[in-house]
């Protein structure tokens, strides 16, 4: 498969207990062609080692190494997964020679295979352009079942990422591309953005969001004191779709928590509100797949952003497996 790279075992190190107390002791290194159809709960970590979309969007490059750093940080964390839960590192999608479009297509193919194998995919990036490939992988998988299921996208982000791809697709265009694909197929574009900022989106993007019937919560509302109201919006959104795909852009967090991103700002949201929302989403029983975007180790401080990303993966992995 073009641009696919098998797992790198050297990323997974940490304390040795010989009792599976740490995740690096729990993980299986499983190339895609060896992934079995899961007979029990199973989580698959997949890297998207590409920041070509960030470069095209005039952002700070460096997210290409994000997936490896997140995996390394995650591996050092305690393992509370049940013995009946499998954890796989299935490798990464790479982006040689700036060939982002092929990387997105390969990502879609791999996500489809993982879902067919009854894995729960967690994709680690890498630029947010991965959302286009990730969504298409989910959609292709559901299309093969021919049951007409609807997908709702929940994006934790400061940005709409609804820029037009009139010249080249990039990390700012994935949801516009998805919207145009939905329009072409005459299906609903279900998109909820949490944490949108006025200082991160121009007026054209706000108008485009309104034109596309995007539901969004501004950053000044996306706060713990308003959690009950936010939970109501999430539940109402999830109720109207069959499946939910969650994408978390690390640059939506305040740089106090996430300095190592492609577009850092001190004005972002906190990890606490995101964790509470994830609890609600997972509780809906509709979460089909999740990714974390824009991890940029080049600008991280003391591994802080990597630890945040790894902690989010830690929470989701344990929550979706019931551990």
Annotated binding site: 128, 157, 159, 161, 249, 251
- DSSP 8-state secondary structure symbol assigned to residue 78: B
Q: In this structure, how many other beta carbons lie within 10 angstroms of the beta carbon of residue 239?
A: 10
Task: Give yes or no for a contact between 293 and 247, defined as CB atoms under 8 angstroms apart.
Answer: yes
Which is nearest to 258 in space by CA: 89, 66, 23, 53?
Answer: 66
Kind and range of the H or E run holding 215: strand 215-218
Q: In this structure, how many other beta carbons lie within 10 angstroms of the beta carbon of residue 231?
A: 16
Beta-strand pair 86-94/4-5: antiparallel
Task: Give yes or no for a contact between 238 and 230, defined as CB atoms under 8 angstroms apart.
Answer: no
List, in order, residues 6 or more apart from 83 with CB less than 8 Å away: none
Annotated binding site for Mn(2+): 128, 157, 159, 161, 249, 251
Largest CA distance in the chain: 56
């Amino acid at each position: 498969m073009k641009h696919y790279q098998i797992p790198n075992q050297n990323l997974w190190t940490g304390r040795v207990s010989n009792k599976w107390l740490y995740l690096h002791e729990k993980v299986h290194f499983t190339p895609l062609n060896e992934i079995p159809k899961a007979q029990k709960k199973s989580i698959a970590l997949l890297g998207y080692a590409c920041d070509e979309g960030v470069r095209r969007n005039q952002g700070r490059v460096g997210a290409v190494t994000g997936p490896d750093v997140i995996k390394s940080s995650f591996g050092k964390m305690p393992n509370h997964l049940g013995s009946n839960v499998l954890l796989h590192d299935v490798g990464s999608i790479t982006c040689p020679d700036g060939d982002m479009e092929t990387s997105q297509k390969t990502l879609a193919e791999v996500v489809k295979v993982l879902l067919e194998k009854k894995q729960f995919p967690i994709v680690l990036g890498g630029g947010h352009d991965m959302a286009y490939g990730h969504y298409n992988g989910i959609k292709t998988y559901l299309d093969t079942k021919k049951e007409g299921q609807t997908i709702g996208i929940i994006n934790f982000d400061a940005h709409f990422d609804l820029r037009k791809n009139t010249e080249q697709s990039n990390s700012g265009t994935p949801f516009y591309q998805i919207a145009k694909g939905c329009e072409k197929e005459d299906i609903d574009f279900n998109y909820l953005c949490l944490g949108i900022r006025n200082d991160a989106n121009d007026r054209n993007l706000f108008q485009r969001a309104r034109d596309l019937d995007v539901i969004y919560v501004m950053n000044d509302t996306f706060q713990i004191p308003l959690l009950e109201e936010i939970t109501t919006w999430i539940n109402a959104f999830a109720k109207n779709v069959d499946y939910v795909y969650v994408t978390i852009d690390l640059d939506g967090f305040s740089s106090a928590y996430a300095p190592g991103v492609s577009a850092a700002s001190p004005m972002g949201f906190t990890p606490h509100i995101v964790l509470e929302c994830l609890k609600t989403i997972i509780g809906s029983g509709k979460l089909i797949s999740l990714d974390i975007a824009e991890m940029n180790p080049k600008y991280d401080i003391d591994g802080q952003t990597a630890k945040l990303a790894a902690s989010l993966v830690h929470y989701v992995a344990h929550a979706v497996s019931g551990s």
